[in-house]
Amino acid sequence: MKYLKAFVLIPVAFSIILISCKEKENNSQTSSFLTKSKEKKIDIVLIGELEFRRSFADIQFMNDEKEIDKFIEKQEKTNPALMQPVDTFLHDRFEELGLIKDDGIVLKNFQLDTASNVNLNDTAGRKINLRFNYDKSLGKHKLTANFLNDPTEIPIRISDMLIGLQYGFLDIIPGGEKELILLDQRHIMNGDNFHFSVYEIKTY
């Protein structure tokens, strides 16, 4: 009888082990699926910033209106001067692309847009939608990117004294993918500041 019981119990135990192993395998597959489903399809990463300034401070020493008008007209034609600190990689790359000359930003060489919504393609031809907006609840400007139905949001530097949101796309990091160039133009104490932020757009 003891041998009979053992003969019966062995298959039962073996079945329990098989079921347990199967459950672990299923749990592992489920965990793997969830991990894959949570993987990001797009990243937008700030890689650097440059700032330039066009000063009108000398106006405070002028009394003649014609002299002031002439000075303003002359200054508006100048290239805003580079400010510290300097991101050497961006500075050198901007210079290579003809965007910086004698440490001044050549604004006329930029092709900038102001639309709050724009579409572009990655190197594989897949569409990326970018939308700029202001989140009143947070009191911050943000950029929303939608790629393969996977939206992602990042805060962007736009000042309260915003003159106008302007942006463009250039191949800053050599390789074919174009980076987002965001310009925040502000008027601060007798001058205009031009703050450039460069973002790398990564798709997977």
Query: Of 107-121, 132-146, 169-183, where does mean pLDDT reach its minimum?
Result: 132-146
Q: Distance between CA 156 and CA 11 in Å, rounded?
A: 64
SS3 per residue for 7-58: HHHHHHHHHHHHHHHHHHHHHHHHHHHHHHHHCCCEEEEEEEEEEEEEECHH
Is the confidence at residue 69, as pLDDT, over 60?
A: yes
Please report which helix (H) or strand (E) contains residue 96, including its range.
helix 88-96
Banded model confidence at residue 160, pLDDT cuts 50, 70, 90: low
In percent, the amount of the chain with pLDDT more than 70 equals: 76
| Same domain flag for 18 and 97 | no
What are 202's strand-pairing partners? 43
Q: Would you say 100 and 94 are in contact if contact means Cβ atoms under 8 Å apart?
A: yes
Q: What is the pLDDT of residue 14?
A: 46
Judge if 1 and 83 occupy the same domain.
no
Nearest to 135, CA basis, from 118, 153, 114: 153
- The reply to whether 163 and 65 lie within a common domain is yes
**pTM (global) more than 0.85:** no
pLDDT band of residue 32 (cuts 50, 70, 90) is: very low
Residues 163, 68 share a domain: yes
What pLDDT is attached to residue 44?
Answer: 92
Residues 24 and 73 in one domain: no
184/51 Cα distance (integer angstroms): 9
Give residue 35's pLDDT: 37
Query: Residue 36 has what pLDDT?
Result: 41
CB distance 199 to 172 below 8 Å = no
Same domain, 32 and 51: no
- Do 22 and 92 reside in the same domain of the chain? no
Write out the residue range of the structural domain in which residue 25 sits.
1-39
Residue 123 is predicted with a pLDDT of: 87
Same domain, yes or no, for 1 and 22?
yes
Determine the pLDDT at residue 114: 86
The band of 15, judged by pLDDT with boundaries at 50, 70 and 90, is low
Across the chain, mean pLDDT equals: 81
Q: Are residues 58 and 1 in the same domain?
A: no
Query: What distances in angstroms separate CA 35 from CA 23, 29, 154, one per listed residue?
Result: 18, 10, 22
One domain, residues 15 and 92: no
Residues 21 and 97 in one domain: no
- So what's the pLDDT on residue 109? 94
Distance of CA 97 to the CA centre of its chain: 20
Say yes or no: 84 and 130 in one domain.
yes
Total domain count, the chain: 2
